């Protein structure tokens, strides 16, 4: 009785909506028989995106995108709301899963040269979606509205501001003004919740439309190079001989793998939990560590190793050049062999790229490019005395945060130049000017040190040279007085 009722309801809906006319052919379309586990990463990426949509909607029902209320609402979600910690954890780990799966899917497509004729637009649309996914991951970091997220956006705005002509406008657009504030949060919320998801939906829709138009690619074979003149006819002929319906012959693998992905996301959110919130944003705090989420560590590690004169060029040029190379790849090579055995250079590029990515990510995790806020004060042995202005200056280089970035005799951070022999490199006047006015990636301290403190710091820094070394020659104009 119930079964008959459901059957009649389904028939009634199908007659009026035409559901079966559209969906059934898509689900049962013919795919190559050898389309096996290599082909599950695309659907798993889409599943991770749906996890983001569902959990994002749940979070948006409680999240308040405005000023201090944003931080408090996240604390409420994490600590008080029923299942709030799990939902926020799933959203965080879902973002990581989406980024990883999108990259793995692109690597698989590249290794199998699926970007060749007639699937050039499939690849191009996928590249656009990948960069939008990265943008969505980055904008989500600010929505935590803690010190780490806010300062990360400030760093991104500073990078964008280096662009010629349009740089200041880009920085102001990113921040929603001249400083990071409530308008910045509102803008990022709109981009993260509305604009980027809409672009991903559109890109995925186009990607699937092209997939159904050109069919699922076969596993590459050494004896089947792509010839645009004959490929379609040969492909359709092979599908007629050995193709199988997507459902149920092939789709079950996608379902199994996607279920595993969702399960891993859920387990991580339950047993590891969401990322801990940093302190509320405080622009006056020097103990702010603008560390991005893990999938951007490699990029910041690269920037930390660059000479100062190259950093701006890499910041502005690397993303653009990387996008253009990936986007235009099918136009450079859209025919010929697809099998990795015939394209050993492709395997080499993937292996070298993954190795570099892992090494740089590990390097970024150890944060040599970031201030070291755990460094301890200098010892008497390093300072050379425990009394007088020199000893006081040695204590001040720690209390004022100098050691967070600078290293002295193996003690301190590595973000800034080493100061072990700074007394041999800069004159007293140079040191005063540099401390007062700041420099490359160094804040100005004129407003945060007194004249007496500045004198003691410089007294100490002047001792950082060998006893028999000559005094450095003047290299700059007389200094401005300290505040």
HSE (side-chain half, CA atoms, 13 Å) at 462? 17
Please state the separation of Cα 448 from the chain's center in Å.
34
Task: Using the predicted structure, report yes or no on whether residue 37 has a pLDDT greater than 80.
Answer: yes
Q: Rounded mean pLDDT of 154-158?
A: 74
pLDDT at 372 over 90: no
Task: Tell me the angle at which helices 41-60 and 251-271 cross, rounded to the nearest 10 degrees.
Answer: 40
Residue 147 and residue 55 share a domain? yes
Q: Is residue 13 part of a domain?
A: no
Work out whether strand 244-245 and strand 407-408 pair parallel, antiparallel, or are unpaired. unpaired
**Once rounded to an integer, what is the mean pLDDT over residues 453-467?**
86
Burial 199-232 (b: 16+ CB within 10 A, else e): bbeebbebbeebbeebbbbbebeeebbbeeeebe
Residue 9 lies in a domain: no
- Residue 101 structural domain: 24-365
Considering the domain architecture, whether residues 253 and 201 belong to the same structural domain is answered as: yes
Tell whether 360 and 386 lie within a shared domain. Answer: no
Whether residue 358 is found in the same domain as residue 395: no
Q: What is the mean pLDDT of the chain?
A: 85
Domain assignment present for 6: no
212 & 161 share domain = yes
The domain boundary residue, chosen from 365, 389, 408: 365
Are residue 43 and residue 79 in the same domain, yes or no? yes
Rounded-to-integer distance, Cα 451 and Cα 409, Å: 26
How far apart CA 42 and CA 329 sit, in angstroms, is 19
Averaged over 269-289, what is the pLDDT?
73
Whole-model pTM?
0.77
415-444 pLDDT, tens digit per residue, is: 677 888 888 888 888 888 888 877 555 767
Q: Are residues 340 and 392 in the same domain?
A: no
The verdict on residue 150 lying in a domain is: yes
Q: Do residues 354 and 386 share a domain?
A: no
* Token output for 59: 């979070």
pLDDT of residue 288: 55
Comparing C-alpha atoms, which of 59, 64, 60 is closest to residue 87? 59
The CATH number linked to 436 is 1.10.760.10
How far is Cα 395 from Cα 316, in angstroms, rounded to an integer? Answer: 39
Whether the Cβ atoms of residue 101 and residue 51 lie closer than 8 Å to each other: no
Is residue 232 domain-shared with residue 340, that is, in the same domain?
yes
Indicate whether 144 belongs to any domain. Answer: yes
Same domain, 334 and 438: no
Within-domain flag for 336:
yes
Which residue in the block uniquely carries the two structure tokens 């279920």?
259
Whichever domain contains 125, its CATH number is 1.20.810.10
User: Per the structure, how many domains does the chain have?
Assistant: 2
Q: What is the pLDDT of residue 16?
A: 83
482 in a structural domain = no
26 pLDDT tier (thresholds 50, 70, 90):
confident
**pLDDT band, very low/low/confident/very high, at 483 (cuts 50, 70, 90):** very low
Note whether 325 and 404 are same-domain residues: no
Alpha-carbon gap, residue 381 to 379, rounded angstroms: 5
256 — pLDDT class (breaks 50, 70, 90): very high
Q: How far apart are alpha carbons 473 and 367 in whole angstroms?
A: 35
Q: Is residue 398 part of a domain?
A: yes
pLDDT 10s digits, 318-343? 889 999 999 999 999 899 999 999 99
């Amino acid at each position: 009785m119930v079964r008959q009722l459901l059957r009649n309801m389904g028939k009634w809906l199908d007659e009026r909506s035409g559901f079966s006319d559209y969906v059934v052919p898509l689900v049962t379309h013919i795919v190559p028989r050898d389309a096996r586990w290599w082909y599950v990463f695309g659907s798993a990426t889409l599943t991770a995106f749906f996890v983001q949509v569902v959990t994002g909607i749940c979070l948006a029902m409680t999240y308040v995108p405005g000023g201090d209320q944003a931080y408090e609402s996240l604390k409420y979600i994490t600590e008080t709301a029923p299942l709030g910690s799990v939902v926020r954890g799933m959203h965080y780990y879902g973002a990581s899963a989406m980024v990883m799966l999108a990259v793995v899917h692109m690597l698989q497509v590249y290794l199998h040269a699926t970007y060749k004729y007639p699937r050039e637009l499939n690849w191009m649309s996928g590249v656009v979606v990948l960069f939008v996914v990265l943008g969505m991951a980055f904008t989500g970091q600010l929505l935590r509205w803690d010190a780490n997220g806010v300062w990360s956006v400030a760093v991104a705005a500073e990078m964008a501001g280096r662009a010629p002509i349009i740089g200041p406008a880009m920085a102001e657009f990113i921040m929603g003004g001249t400083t990071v504030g409530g308008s910045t949060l509102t803008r990022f919320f709109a981009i993260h919740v509305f604009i980027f998801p809409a672009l991903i939906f559109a890109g995925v829709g186009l990607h699937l439309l092209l997939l159904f138009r050109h069919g699922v690619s076969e596993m590459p074979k050494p004896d089947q190079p792509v010839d645009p003149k004959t490929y379609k006819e040969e492909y359709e002929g092979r599908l007629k001989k050995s193709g199988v319906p997507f459902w149920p012959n092939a789709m079950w693998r996608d379902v199994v793998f996607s279920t595993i992905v969702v399960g891993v996301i859920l387990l991580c959110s339950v047993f590891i939990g969401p990322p801990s919130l940093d302190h509320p944003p405080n622009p006056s705090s020097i103990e702010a560590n603008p560390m991005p989420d893990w999938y951007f560590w490699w990029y910041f590690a690269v920037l930390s190793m660059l000479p100062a004169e190259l950093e701006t060029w890499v910041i502005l040029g690397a993303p653009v050049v990387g996008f253009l190379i990936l986007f235009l790849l099918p136009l450079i090579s859209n025919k010929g062999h697809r099998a990795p055995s015939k394209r050993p250079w492709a395997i080499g590029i993937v292996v070298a790229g993954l190795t570099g990515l892992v090494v740089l990510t590990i390097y970024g995790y150890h944060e040599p490019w970031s201030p070291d806020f755990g460094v301890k004060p200098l010892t008497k042995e390093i300072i050379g005395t425990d009394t007088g202005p020199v000893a006081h200056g040695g204590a001040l280089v720690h209390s004022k945060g100098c050691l967070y970035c600078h290293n002295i005799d193996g003690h301190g951070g590595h973000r800034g130049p080493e100061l072990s022999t700074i007394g041999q490199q800069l004159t007293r006047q140079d040191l005063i000017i540099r401390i007062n006015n700041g420099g490359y990636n160094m804040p100005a301290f004129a407003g945060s040190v007194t004249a007496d403190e500045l004198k003691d710091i410089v007294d100490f820094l002047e001792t950082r040279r060998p006893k028999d070394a000559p005094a450095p020659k003047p290299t700059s104009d007389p200094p401005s007085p300290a505040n």
